Structure 1
Amino acid sequence: MEQIFSPQGFDETGAGPLYLQLQRRIAEAIASARLKPGDSLPPERDMAALTGLSRVTVRKAVEGLVATGQLVQRRGSGTFVAPKVERLEQALSLLTSFTEDMARRGKSVESTWISRAIHSPAPEEVMALGLGAGDRVARLERVRRSDGVPLAIERASLSAAYLPDPEAVAGSLYAVLQANGCRPVRAVQRISAANLSPRDAELLGVPTGAAGLKIERIGYLPDGRVVEFTRSLYRGDAYDFAVELKLDPERTTP
């Protein structure tokens, strides 16, 4: 650590701004594993004293590495090397849950619950779920983690007729719906790009404004009734979505 923040080697003439030199030095230490995921950096004032740079220069260097996702800052705790995130490929042709996706890869799954309760439906929930006057909605909001790394924020809405007790969902929502005989058999999914808000970015451990994938899913029962309206936010640095394309069977070759 002392070598990384040694005052030796900073060049005020030909090597670019001092904050960029410090950025490169820290980034190279991360790339070479001298700084490992989860390692904490010294406080800003200590880095300034070790390097002989101003606190403004150190702050600017750290902010740049936070913006690129190489460092994370936790309120009251300090600055840390960001966890290494493995990119995951998700097939769009299968109707599966987050728990099932991770289980196929042999990964652990954890949830941090934000809320799960019965509410009066919002207008978009009434429209999406086809609710009537007086109907209630079960709302589930949680951060989904795999091997300890936060990957997605899941916000699911269901008619209380299908999920009268949201507290019954401890792990997989689809497992609970299947046990109740109302698991969706098909779904329409829309994917769009999103920049993460400060709240969502904090929940996912990434910088505010980082790229994310917004996925809206409406799930249907065999008789066509809507059972699920889920809006999820996935980390853009962790997910690739793949779909297989086939030639239209009705197409004729000229």
Structure 2
Amino acid sequence: MSDRLAAILPRGGVHHKGAGPLYHRLRLSLEEAILSGKLNHGDVLYPERDFAEYARVSRVTVRKAIDHLVRDGLLVRRHGSGTFVARSASRVVQPVSCTTSLSEELFWSGAKTECEWMERSISHPSPEEMMTLGLSADNRVARLIRLRKSAGQPLAIERTCISSEFLPDALRVTSSIYSALEDANVRPVRAIQRIFACNIHNPDASMLGVEIGAAGMLTKRVAYLPSGRAIEFTHSLFRGDADGFVTEFTISQT
């Protein structure tokens, strides 16, 4: 048992030493093990008690980390059988240093996009933002919302959240969010993004000029500093009737 666990976690700790709750850092370590293929589709996790004893954390910490991975679809619980890896995933690598934001990586066929700022403010984080960025209710975040358009037609709404520790003045961001982070010497080095099919509801439907319930695509992106700390959390909602988009990635060999 210890040999398999040692391939995933160092004994008595987690890989990610950045800020944030212990369960969140444990979750990131397990997520990396799944995305890198150390844990494969159908593999069963060890019981929470054994996992907690090996990692020297509480069972509550282990359960909370697993709960979030189940919610994200990377793990699945089967009553009476245990917790299993839900699916294998190819690791898709794109240098963050070459990008500005997810929506700027997407190009509709023959379209040139433009940006309209909807909000640049400092506020309290939502529960999801607190969990993702490892923040408390007392922290503040820079909230950046922009509407992407092509030829005057709305195409996507991008909502970005960054701890005010790194971006104390949201109005400093005038174009590229990553350029502003680079100016503050806190540019992220990697990111994980997930893509979901969804229906669009108000107020987003009105902003995008589509009917309530229209089909859309939602992406959730989390970017990380070299320390492993999550610095950026972005939701991008795309209308589903666009002509199509293209983005290029590099698939690692590991």
**TM-score normalised to structure 1 length:** 0.54
Greater C-alpha Rg = 1
For 1:227 and 1:160, the matched residues in 2 are separated by 10
**1:61-96 deviations in Å (ceiling 9; x for gaps):** xxxxxxxxxxxxxxxxxxxxxxxxxxxxxxx75343
Change (3 A) 1:106 1:233: closer
1:197 paired with 2:218, answer no
**1:143-162 deviations in Å (ceiling 9; x for gaps):** 12234221110111110011
1:107 paired with 2:116, answer no
What corresponds to 1:167 in structure 2?
A: 171
For 2:132 and 2:122, the matched residues in 1 are separated by 17
Shift, 1:134, TM fit: 3.0
Change (3 A) 1:120 1:206: same
For 1:169 and 1:226, the matched residues in 2 are separated by 19
Structure 2: stretches of 5+ with no match in the other structure? 1-91
Instruction: State the AA in 1 paired with 2:238.
Output: Y
The 5-angstrom pairing of residues 49-198 of structure 1 reads: 93-94=93-94, 95=96, 96=99, 97=101, 98-99=103-104, 107-113=112-118, 115-132=119-136, 134-198=138-202
CA contact (8 A) 2:125 2:139 kept: yes
For 2:152 and 2:216, the matched residues in 1 are separated by 19
CA contact (8 A) 2:143 2:159 kept: yes
For 1:183 and 1:244, the matched residues in 2 are separated by 20
Instruction: State the AA in 2 paired with 1:107.
Output: K
CA contact (8 A) 1:99 1:109 kept: no
For 1:100 and 1:244, the matched residues in 2 are separated by 10
Change (3 A) 1:235 1:159: same
Change (3 A) 1:121 1:227: same
Change (3 A) 1:109 1:249: closer
Change (3 A) 1:196 1:106: closer
What corresponds to 2:70 in structure 1?
A: none
Structure 1: stretches of 5+ with no match in the other structure? 1-91
Instruction: State the AA in 1 paired with 2:122.
Output: I
For 2:141 and 2:175, the matched residues in 1 are separated by 19
Change (3 A) 1:170 1:130: same
Shift, 1:175, TM fit: 1.6
1:216 paired with 2:220, answer yes
For 1:152 and 1:169, the matched residues in 2 are separated by 19
Q: State the SS of the aligned residue for 1:198.
A: coil
Change (3 A) 1:132 1:198: closer
Larger deviation: 214-223 or 200-209?
A: 200-209
For 2:113 and 2:247, the matched residues in 1 are separated by 22
**TM-score normalised to structure 2 length:** 0.54
The 5-angstrom pairing of residues 228-243 of structure 1 reads: 228-238=232-242, 239-240=244-245
Change (3 A) 1:100 1:183: farther
Instruction: State the AA in 1 paired with 2:134.
Output: G
Instruction: State the AA in 2 paired with 1:111.
Output: E
Q: State the SS of the aligned residue for 2:148.
A: strand
CA contact (8 A) 2:145 2:160 kept: yes
Aligned-pair Cα RMSD in Å: 2.8
How many pairs were matched up?
156
